[in-house]
Amino acid sequence: MSLLDVRELRTSFRTDDGVVKAVDGVSFSVEKGQTLGIVGESGCGKSVTCLTIMGLNNRRNTITSGEALFNGEDLLTMSSRRLREIRGNDVAMIFQDPMTSLNPVHKIGRQLVEAILLHRDVSKKVAQARALELLKAVGIPRADRRIDDYPHQFSGGMRQRVMIAMALVNDPDLLIADEPTTALDVTTQAQILTLMSRLQQEFGSAIIIITHDLGVVAEVAHEVVVMYAAQIVERGTADSIFSRPHHPYTWGLLGSLPRLDADVERLVQIPGQPPSLLNPPRGCRFHPRCPYVMDICRADHPDLLPVTADPEHLQRCHLDEETKDREAEKLLAGTLAQAQAQVRTG
Amino acid sequence: MATQVTTTNGTAAGEDLLVVEDLEKHFPVTRGIVFQKQVGAVRAVDGVSFRVREGETLGVVGESGCGKSTMARCIMRLIDPTGGRVVFRGRDITNLSRADMRPIRRELMMIFQDPYASLNSRKRVGFIVAEALEVHKLGTDAEIKRRVQELLEVVGLNPEHYNRFPHEFSGGQRQRIGVARALAVNPKLIVCDEPVSALDVSVQAQILNLLKDLQKEFGLTYIFIAHDLNVVRHISDRVAVMYLGKIKEYAPRNQLYDAPKHPYTGALLSAVPIPNPELGRLRKPIVLEGDVPSPLNPPAACNFHPRCPRFQPGHCDVEPPPLYPFGDGQFAACHYPLERWPLNEDEMRNPAQAAAVSGATQTTP
């Protein structure tokens, strides 16, 4: 049994303009000790998927269906009391912006201790020792003094470390990180990613990492889900997604990265904008922006089907395998040269 | 480079469009309410020199807080530098009055980072783009309107959206409006301050392509500020790496990315994630410890020394390194530059060993 098994998850929001289907039939699973990367443009439903799993959507205007089985228990239907027990204890979340997710008027030590006392029956002293231990584990220098600092006294990278420490207070089995490095510089990003993979090895947690940076996903993820307009368009192991992507949208994402082998005059660009989820396009949701669009794409919504060569690799596209092989080859010839050039330099 | 700059009044050296010499911006830190006393200074920009040739793109990279944006604002005279000179088309603009500055502003434009905050949300797009034309009195109302619609078309927006408000556009479209506004008065130099860092990768590609096309079409010169090394590589002809208010390395693009000399540049390059898992596993990034120190009290001599893997006590923290030349227009401010690239971690930490290895391998290929 997987640690987390998400089946046909659907989340809709009632708004003044109508019902927005923010997540529309998403299924994936995460095994213990593994990292799942979710990529896609803003507004494609990556974050809402995770907020739904954590039960953090506003109940008043949200309609949810499907299942999210965590160790066999459905997170979507359980009582809010049981959910509170699990949240912050077995499942923890790291948010994108550490400045707005830490309480600015409390010392970080107090915020860490609060999270421990909520879930553990321990004395304040023990909790404080545990908080200090965690701050040291995430590599905050002079942790014994900094535990009494306020969030504004920390730099962006240090705040993100505090967020990670807070997520780890109760040794969670599953860690959900929503764009954990987007607000950071590349050197700090390297520090945080190294830290996360070290902690994963130490604690054996599973990680879901949401990002729009394909480089970061390639670095840390074992499995990758590519989302577009509230649905999964491609899913597979990181190696297979990056070595043989099957969906034109994934090609577009890979091609729009500036390359380090230089001298490409123009980047491949995905024309247009992501569609409105109020009224998604008929047929394949990517067809208005797809350079390979055929008649069938406008009429018929493709299913998420396994690739013939690799049953673990799922994709949602009508294009025949032959054309795909040819196009993906063309794209990868460039990116591979890029990556090799980069390894040479690293 | 800085040392050879000899600009006399009125004539720029060669085809240099912009020459910046020893630019400094120190923000005073004061204490006291009635009797304010200066107790220190934030050295945001601390002696930066470079030149930009007509028609080229100078990329500026660095971590947040390294003074990139302050430098851009000093060049634009949005804030006044505390020292140094900015020479634009042979004319020293550092101390020009507001009135004297006005005609020059037509030739110096800026594109800002945040497309949500940099457009006035209460004005229509047509007004935002036309404002500079009206300030400089370039044409009648009808002419300005035609010009604005033309500009919207050039940047890939529908000219009929003239009367819409910024909130009706997506992030990428707003950044296009920002580009149209900068283009309106036919500037020579556009300073782009992180123009794509707030955008999704697919939209980022659209804006980068647009900037490149416009450069070709109108012969624009860019100063392109970003923290993403891949983006800077894609768009720049030459690149300056900044750290704590100082330029650490300055080189033509290919030299900088293929053979960096400064350990900081090396660390930055090695930290860029690779979008390929197989190759990514082979790579060992040089992870820098700690954060960028406070510019209020920067480290002595080489300001990178507390984080530098090649730090040599008694030298790096005593003697500030000048920008040493390395040929072909490459300069790096380091006493122990990288002998070759790539280096493994041991060689990175031990300059002598790397020198020996590079001496041995240089003869073989």
Averaged confidence pLDDT in chain B: 86
Please state the length of chain A: 346
- Is A144 an interface residue toward B (CB < 8 Å)? no
% of chain B residues with pLDDT over 70:
92
Confidence of residue B82 (pLDDT cuts 50, 70, 90): very high
Confidence check: pLDDT of A339 > 90: no
Nearest Cβ partner of B342 from A41, A191, A346? A346
Residue B279 · residue A339 · CB < 8 Å:
yes
Q: Among residues A280, A282, A278, which one has the least CA distance to residue A18?
A: A278
Chain A interface test: which of B202, B270, B287, B304 (most A C-beta within 10 Å)? B202
Predicted pLDDT at B35: 80
Residue B274, chain A, CB below 8 Å: the answer is yes
Among the partner-chain residues B205, B276, B287, the one whose CB lies closest to the CB of A218 is B276
Whether A193 and B273 lie within 8 Å, measured CB to CB: yes
In the predicted model, is pLDDT for residue B243 greater than 90? yes
> Is residue B137 predicted with pLDDT exceeding 50?
yes
Of B130, B180, B135, whose CA–CA distance to B154 is shortest? B180
| B312-325 average pLDDT score | 91
Average pLDDT, chain A: 87
Residue A201 lies in a domain: yes
Q: Which tens digit of pLDDT belongs to each residue from A126-185?
A: 999 999 988 888 888 888 889 999 998 888 778 888 988 888 888 899 999 998 887 778
Taking the CA atoms of A62, A68, A73 and A75 in sequence, report the sign of the dihedral they define. negative
**Is residue B344 less than 8 Å (CB to CB) from chain A?**
no
Binding-face residues of B in 242-261 toward A, CB within 8 A: 253-254, 257-258
B277: nearest CB among A239, A256, A264 = A239
How far is residue B107 from each of residues A70, B132, B160, measured CA to CA in Å?
Answer: 60, 11, 27
Looking at the fold, whether A207 and A309 belong to one and the same domain comes out as no
Chain B residues with beta carbon closer than 8 angstroms to that of A254: 275
Residues of B in contact with A159 (CB under 8 A): none
Q: How many domains is chain A built from?
A: 2
Residue A209 lies inside a defined structural domain of this protein: yes
Domain membership of residue A17 (yes or no) is yes
pLDDT (mean) for B123-143: 91
Q: Domain for residue A233, yes or no?
A: no
Question: What residues 6-35 of chain B have any CB closer than 8 A to a CB of chain A?
Answer: none
Cβ–Cβ below 8 Å for A269 and B230 = no
Exposed (0-12), middle (13-18) or buried (19+): which is B54, by Cβ within 10 Å?
A: middle
Q: Which domain holds residue B38?
A: 2-107+187-363
pLDDT in tens, A116-140: 998 888 999 999 999 998 888 888 8
| DSSP calls for A264-305 | -SS-----S-PPPTTSPPSSSTTGGG-TT--HHHHH-PPP-E
A101 and A182 inside one domain: yes
Minimum-distance CB partner of A242 among B235, B257, B276: B276
Question: Mind giving me the DSSP string for A42-94?
Answer: TTSSHHHHHHHHTT-S-GGGEEEEEEEEETTEETTTS-HHHHHHHBTTTEEEE
Q: Which residue has the higher pLDDT, A98 or B51?
A: B51
Instruction: Extract the tokens encoding B90.
Output: 């042979």
Tokens of A117: 């006392």
Instruction: Give me the pLDDT at residue A126, please.
Output: 93
Which of A98-102, A268-272, B46-50, B198-202 is predicted most confidently? B46-50
pLDDT tens, position by position, B347-364: 777 776 655 554 444 433
State both tokens at A72: 């066999």
Work out how many CB contacts closer than 8 A connect A with B.
156
Q: Is B279 on the interface with A (CB under 8 A)?
A: yes
Together in a domain, A12 and A61: yes
Closest to A343 (Cβ–Cβ): which among B229, B231, B283? Answer: B283
A162/B contact by beta carbon, under 8 A: no
The 10s digit of each residue's pLDDT in B32-68 is: 888 888 888 888 999 999 999 999 999 999 888 888 8
Q: Name the closest residue on chain B to residue A249, using Cα atoms.
A: B202
H or E stretch at B313: none
Question: How far off is chain B from A320, nearest CA to CA, in Å?
Answer: 24
> Which of A226, A257, A280 is at the close of a domain?
A226
A214 and A266 housed in the same domain: no
Together in a domain, A263 and A145: no
Contact A270 B202 (CB under 8 A): yes
Quote the CA–CA distance of A70 and A51 in Å, as a whole number.
14
- pLDDT band at residue B228 using 50, 70 and 90 as cut-offs: confident
To the nearest whole angstrom, how far is the Cα of B63 from the nearest Cα of chain A?
6
User: Which residues in A82-104 are b (16+ Cβ under 10 Å) and which e?
Assistant: ebeebbbbbbbbbbbebeebbee
Q: Do B277 and A219 touch (CB under 8 A)?
A: yes
Does any CB of chain A come closer than 8 Å to the CB of residue B168? no
With CA atoms as reference, report the closest residue to B263 among B352, B315, B320, B334: B334
pLDDT in tens, A285-321: 999 999 899 999 999 999 999 988 888 999 999 998 8
Q: What is the pLDDT of residue A336?
A: 59
Q: Which helix (H) or strand (E) holds B289?
A: none
Interface of A with B in 18-77 (CB under 8 A): 41-42
Task: Report if residue B117 sits inside a domain.
Answer: no
Nearest CA in chain B to A221: B277
Q: Does A211 touch chain B (CB under 8 A)?
A: no
| Contact B365/A at CB under 8 A | no
Is any Cβ of chain B less than 8 angstroms from the Cβ of A344?
yes
pLDDT of residue A228: 94
> Do β-strands A223-228 and A231-237 pair in parallel, antiparallel, or remain unpaired?
antiparallel
- Distance between first and last Cα of chain B: 32
In a domain, A238, yes or no: no
Instruction: Choose among A141, A212, A273: nearest Cβ to B201.
Output: A212
Q: Does A270 touch chain B (CB under 8 A)?
A: yes
- Host domain of residue A312: 245-345
CATH of the domain at A181: 3.40.50.300
Contact B172, A269 (CB under 8 A): no
SS (H, E, C) B66-89: CCHHHHHHHHCCCCCCCEEEEEEC
Q: Quick one: A181 and A265 in the same domain? A: no
The per-residue pLDDT for range A61-82, each reduced to its tens digit, is: 899 999 999 999 999 999 989 9
In a domain, A112, yes or no: yes
- Contact of B160 with chain A, judged by CB distance below 8 Å, is answered with no
Using CB atoms, pick whichever of B171, B203, B274 lies closest to residue A342. Answer: B274
User: CB distance from B288 to chain A under 8 Å?
Assistant: yes
Q: Please check the confidence at residue B1 and state whether its pLDDT lies above 50.
A: no
Residue B263 domain-assigned (yes or no) = yes
What does the pLDDT look like over A29-58, one tens digit per residue? 999 999 999 998 888 899 899 999 998 888
Alpha helix ranges (H) inside B136-221: 141-154, 171-183, 201-218
What confidence category does residue B7 fall into, taking pLDDT thresholds of 50, 70 and 90?
Answer: very low
Of A200, A187, A252, whose CA–CA distance to A39 is shortest?
Answer: A252
Q: Tell me if A41 and B228 make a contact (CB, 8 A cut-off).
A: no
- Chain B residues with CB under 8 Å of A273 CB are 170, 172-173, 203
Same domain, A250 and A145: no
Residue B313 within any structural domain of the chain? yes
Does residue A86 have a pLDDT over 70? yes
| CATH assignment of the domain containing B203 | 3.40.50.300
What band does A59 get if pLDDT is binned at 50, 70 and 90? confident
- Is residue B110 predicted with pLDDT exceeding 70? yes
pLDDT of amino acid B289: 76
> Which chain A residue lies closest to B64 (C-alpha atoms)?
A185
Determine the pLDDT at residue A341. 58
**Assigned domain for A234 exists:** no
Test B273 with A213 for CB contact under 8 angstroms: yes
Chain A residues within 8 A of B239 when measuring between CB atoms:
none
Q: Which residue has the higher pLDDT, A14 or B292?
A: A14
Residues A195-223 have a mean pLDDT of 89
Query: How close B136 gets to chain A, by Cα (Å)?
Result: 34
Residue A236 maps to a domain: no
A302 and A191 part of one domain: no
Instruction: Select from B171, B287, B341 the Cβ nearest to the Cβ of A190.
Output: B287
Give all strands of the β-sheet with A4-15 in edge-to-edge order.
A18-30, A4-15, A62-70, A73-74
